[in-house]
Amino acid sequence: MKDLLGRDEAVKVNEARELFLKQNLREPEAESVSIDDSYGRVLSREITSPEDLPGFNRSTMDGFAVHSADTFGASDTMPVYLEVKGQVLMGEKPRISVQRGEAVQIPTGGMLPAGSDSVVMFEYTNMVDGSIVEVMKTLSPNENIIRADEDVKKGEMVFQGGRRLRPQDVGALAGLGILEVDVFKKPVVSIIGTGDEVVPPDKPLSIGKVRDINSYNLAGLIAGCNAVPLKKGIIKDDLQKLRNAVKESISQSDMVLITGGSSVGTKDYTAQVIDELGEPGVLFHGVAMKPGKPLIGGIVNGVPLFGLPGHPAAITVSFETFIDPLLMRMSGERPFLHIPSRRKLKALFSRNLASSTGREEHIRVSVEKRNGALWAVPVLGKSGLVRTLVQADGIVIIPMTKSGIYEGEEVEVRLFK
Amino acid sequence: MKDLLGRDEAVKVNEARELFLKQNLREPEAESVSIDDSYGRVLSREITSPEDLPGFNRSTMDGFAVHSADTFGASDTMPVYLEVKGQVLMGEKPRISVQRGEAVQIPTGGMLPAGSDSVVMFEYTNMVDGSIVEVMKTLSPNENIIRADEDVKKGEMVFQGGRRLRPQDVGALAGLGILEVDVFKKPVVSIIGTGDEVVPPDKPLSIGKVRDINSYNLAGLIAGCNAVPLKKGIIKDDLQKLRNAVKESISQSDMVLITGGSSVGTKDYTAQVIDELGEPGVLFHGVAMKPGKPLIGGIVNGVPLFGLPGHPAAITVSFETFIDPLLMRMSGERPFLHIPSRRKLKALFSRNLASSTGREEHIRVSVEKRNGALWAVPVLGKSGLVRTLVQADGIVIIPMTKSGIYEGEEVEVRLFK
């Protein structure tokens, strides 16, 4: 895809995404973890219940376990009278059973005594003396109880594979007595820094150099996607060194991010190395998006690789647009596509802003409250700046077909995680 | 607050929240962490820049460093000609300077040579021969450069105290050469289980018992708030044992959650213990909310304590309504109140549902797509069930003043984290 000047032509954002969707990726491997470590992990296979739950008929109210038939016709004005035979203790199997005409006191959560089929709440009873209770309500069978297999039946599926476990899901696993689960391993993502001008932040900074911002930004973004960042350090602008680093990273991880030095040389090396190391190689080189236009995307032996522009703003936008959704796919999670993965809000745009048609513009904005309304204020300025990194709360996308946004126009802000 | 029958009267949800807001809590302590461990942590004090950034005049484009005055009047049709004196290497301090009538080739990110004040992009130049460049654009001073202190000035505040660090913020810290930051310690939250019928999930389950769901649910919810759960195990329904466990927990943690057995006895013990152990003790006992009505809230010596109803549904709702916002406050984060802390969506309610006025109802719902619209489907059923735990995607609140929701009515679903 070269344009008339022989430059690589930028593909559209959705085309670039589809190029990845068509490719097979490495299948995620599974591992077994304790439920204590399973929060946020994705089940690699479905889970069925090893038993009936709760496993016994259980009262959902404080009251008396009775035969429902004994309460037939009972009301405020026409109570029935039952003999109290004792009480059920919490957490214990009752030793008494309920015969017709009898009642047994029972707490919420208590096990129903044999013979009883329902529970009348205390509110509808009166103790007449120590051994007789007045019942003022007609009960149906199973009223105020959970039957032994009513919650979950033995062998019933509780979770599909691909489920990401939330706190209450782990609670449910504990409730079923499941202590270990099979989950997909977290994707490991290598981060390779390049650029002769980039130095690690713990090294002295000589004049003309800049510190490595991108590895730190990316490591946090990756961890925020439930993946594991693997920092490979900073490689000098040298083809052979880059080739070795990428090759090693492909063998150690499930995705490789190469953050560009700004130099022209590195950009060329990145595409070359991706093409050399395996099939299909580079999928696109340049995306109709701002910032992030120089983005390179490729796959080598099922491992996605990205050549990211060196500017922090482009890193953020490229990550949100391509890498975050890809990591979601690689996690093995079966997503609920109709549920938003991000916090969003509506706001009024604070100024007129022109945009070139033919490319998607991702405007970083801060959100401010003025006169009771929310405003999305573009964080402009040169994209290499630290200041713009820390000021933005989220992103407003101007689609390819739109030539800009007017002041006061309502926009949707996709907030950072 | 007793009602006419001598029972504790339920306070309104917002009143219960305010009772906490009026009380002082323990001040969070600070600790120093490496920026590698600072993601998601809250700064305990402001951060100022130790230096000017980028620290040198830096090109933002590939092109030629020039004297802008030399380009005055230059255009496509009227270019100016400058002598190329060499090139700036990436990451190095240029040894050449730019005299009037001269130009030096420079890469994006390169350091401006002495004498130059702007950069003309390659696109507006033509090499005439190896040593002369044609410039077709008039430049202003500082065009296409970032000045030495333009991003951040030495001593300038970069972050306020109370900022929760995002990936790009940690990137910015790296960019400033800041390797350690002072952050608030994460709040530690003790979880005490009670109930004679509750057993840990790794113990054999005899009939009449149920496994501990709540500690697992709560541990995940707490960790999801950037706090540290501390499981204290399950205490039998015994006043002295509960007192000891709560006392120990107050000394070990910043908040104490006591999950109720369902038994009446435990509920009474919890309030009694909270009142005994220090001031002000119980703040409310019962909230006009469903589920979660029996909730107890209190403070002892600056440590908030909650007595939570034993039902998982009530745990979820109590956590979302009271504990999550309180943990946010205790984290030291200065929240941006106009930015939603949760994902939300609008959906149509799937059925008529009556609600009692005089209490807030929190309906757990699953979100389903039908005929192109999103529907919020109440997850009803007995609140002790595992099934209802795993089916819900979020919560719809019916306010106290509303008597229900109609089928097809638009509602806002607050999605679980």
Chain B nearest-CA distance from A140, in A, is: 16
Q: What percent of chain A has pLDDT over 90?
A: 79
A56–chain B Cβ distance below 8 A for any pair = yes
Q: Are residues B224 and B318 in the same domain?
A: yes
Quick one: tokens of B198? 């509750």
Q: Are residues B124 and B93 in the same domain?
A: yes
Chain A nearest-CA distance from B279, in A, is: 32
- CATH number of the CATH domain containing A45: 3.90.105.10
Q: What percent of chain A has pLDDT over 70?
A: 95
Residue A96 in domain: yes
Q: Are residues B312 and B391 in the same domain?
A: no
Q: What percent of chain B has pLDDT over 70?
A: 95
Is B46's pLDDT higher than 90? Answer: yes
Total domains in chain B come to: 4
A401–chain B Cβ distance below 8 A for any pair = no
Instruction: Name the average pLDDT for chain B.
Output: 92
pLDDT, average across residues A145-170: 95
Q: Are residues B279 and B323 in the same domain?
A: yes
Please indicate whether, in this complex, the C-beta atoms of B384 and A172 are within 8 angstroms of each other. Answer: no
Chain B nearest-CA distance from A141, in A, is: 16
Is A3's pLDDT higher than 60? Answer: no
Chain A nearest-CA distance from B109, in A, is: 7
Is B394's pLDDT higher than 50? Answer: yes
Chain A nearest-CA distance from B102, in A, is: 21
What dihedral do alpha carbons B282, B285, B289, B293 form, nearest 10°?
A: 130
Please indicate whether, in this complex, the C-beta atoms of A90 and B237 are within 8 angstroms of each other. Answer: yes
The size of chain A, in residues, is 417
Q: Are residues B243 and B305 in the same domain?
A: yes
Q: Are residues A223 and A321 in the same domain?
A: yes
pLDDT, average across residues A146-167: 95
Our CA angle for B50, B55, B61, nearest 5°, is 140
* Residue in chain A lying closest to B312 (CA): A168
Residue B296 in domain: yes
Chain A nearest-CA distance from B280, in A, is: 31
- CATH number of the CATH domain containing B275: 3.40.980.10
Q: Are residues B191 and B171 in the same domain?
A: no
Is A198's pLDDT higher than 80? Answer: yes
End-to-end distance of chain A based on CA atoms, in angstroms? Answer: 35
**Which residues have C-beta within 8 Å of that of residue B394, sequence separation ≥ 6?**
B345, B364, B365, B367, B413, B414, B415, B416
Give, as one character, the DSSP assignment of residue A163. Answer: P
CA count, 13 A, side-chain hemisphere, B100? 3
At A262 the pLDDT is 47
Residue A4 in domain: no
Q: Are residues B175 and B316 in the same domain?
A: no
Q: Are residues B175 and B195 in the same domain?
A: no
Please indicate whether, in this complex, the C-beta atoms of B208 and A91 are within 8 angstroms of each other. Answer: yes
Residues of A in contact with B214 (CB under 8 A): 171
Q: What is the ipTM of this complex?
A: 0.92
Q: Are residues A49 and A97 in the same domain?
A: no
How deeply is A81 buried, as exposed, middle or buried, from its count of CB atoms within 10 A (0-12, 13-18, 19+)?
middle
Residue B170 in domain: yes
Provide the pLDDT confidence category of residue B262 given band limits of 50, 70 and 90: very low
Please indicate whether, in this complex, the C-beta atoms of A384 and B60 are within 8 angstroms of each other. Answer: yes
Largest CA distance in chain B: 101
Our CA angle for A90, A171, B248, nearest 5°, is 70
- Tokens 């009939």 found at: B207
- The alpha helices in A43-134, defined as continuous H runs, are none
Residue A171 in domain: yes
Nearest CB to B211; choose among A174, A223, A344: A174
- Residue A269 or B230, more confident: B230
Query: Of A146, A171, A194, at which residue does a domain stop?
Result: A146
Q: Are residues A177 and A248 in the same domain?
A: no
A211–chain B Cβ distance below 8 A for any pair = yes
In order, the DSSP letters of A246-273 are HHHHHHH-SEEEEEPPSSHHHHHHHHHH
A334–chain B Cβ distance below 8 A for any pair = no
* Residue in chain B lying closest to A157 (CA): B387
Residue B7 in domain: no
A215–chain B Cβ distance below 8 A for any pair = yes
Residues of A in contact with B207 (CB under 8 A): 55-56, 93, 111
Is B205's pLDDT higher than 60? Answer: yes
pLDDT, average across residues B191-212: 89
At B91 the pLDDT is 85
Q: Which of residues 86-125 of A touch B (CB under 8 A)?
A: 89-94, 107-111
Helix (H) or strand (E) holding A194: strand A188-194
| Span of A164-168, A226-230, A332-336, B30-34 with lowest mean pLDDT | A332-336
| pLDDT tens-digit series, residues A71-80 | 999 999 999 9
Give, as one character, the DSSP assignment of residue A124. Answer: G
At B196 the pLDDT is 84
CB atoms within 10 A of CB B63: 26
Residue B326 in domain: yes
Which residue segment(s) compose the domain that A102 sits in?
58-146
Provide the pLDDT confidence category of residue B331 given band limits of 50, 70 and 90: very high
Q: Cα–Cα distance between A290 and A362 in angstroms, integer?
A: 6
Q: Which residues make beta-bridge pairs with B119?
A: B65
Instruction: Name the average pLDDT for chain A.
Output: 92
Chain B nearest-CA distance from A278, in A, is: 30
| pLDDT tens-digit series, residues B118-164 | 999 999 999 998 899 999 999 999 999 999 999 999 999 999 999 99
Quick one: tokens of B146? 């970032």
| Span of A188-192, A290-294, B127-131, B379-383 with lowest mean pLDDT | B379-383
B310–chain A Cβ distance below 8 A for any pair = yes
Q: Are residues B72 and B109 in the same domain?
A: yes
- CATH number of the CATH domain containing B131: 2.170.190.11
pLDDT, average across residues B337-342: 79
Q: Cα–Cα distance between B67 and A105 in angstroms, integer?
A: 95
**Helices A167-175 and B214-224: angle between axes, nearest 10 degrees:** 160
Please indicate whether, in this complex, the C-beta atoms of A111 and B208 are within 8 angstroms of each other. Answer: yes
B196–chain A Cβ distance below 8 A for any pair = yes
Provide the pLDDT confidence category of residue A322 given band limits of 50, 70 and 90: very high
**Which residues have C-beta within 8 Å of that of residue A181, sequence separation ≥ 6?**
A32, A33, A35, A38, A41, A43, A47, A165, A173
Of the candidates A276, A259, A387, A267, the residue with the CA atom closest to the CA atom of residue A318: A259
Of the candidates A292, A271, A294, the residue with the CA atom closest to the CA atom of residue A281: A271
Residues of B in contact with A342 (CB under 8 A): 343
pTM over 0.90, yes/no: yes
Provide the pLDDT confidence category of residue B6 given band limits of 50, 70 and 90: low
B205–chain A Cβ distance below 8 A for any pair = yes
pLDDT, average across residues A205-226: 93
Is B265's pLDDT higher than 90? Answer: no
At A6 the pLDDT is 52
pLDDT, average across residues A377-384: 79
Residue A383 in domain: yes
pLDDT, average across residues B249-267: 80
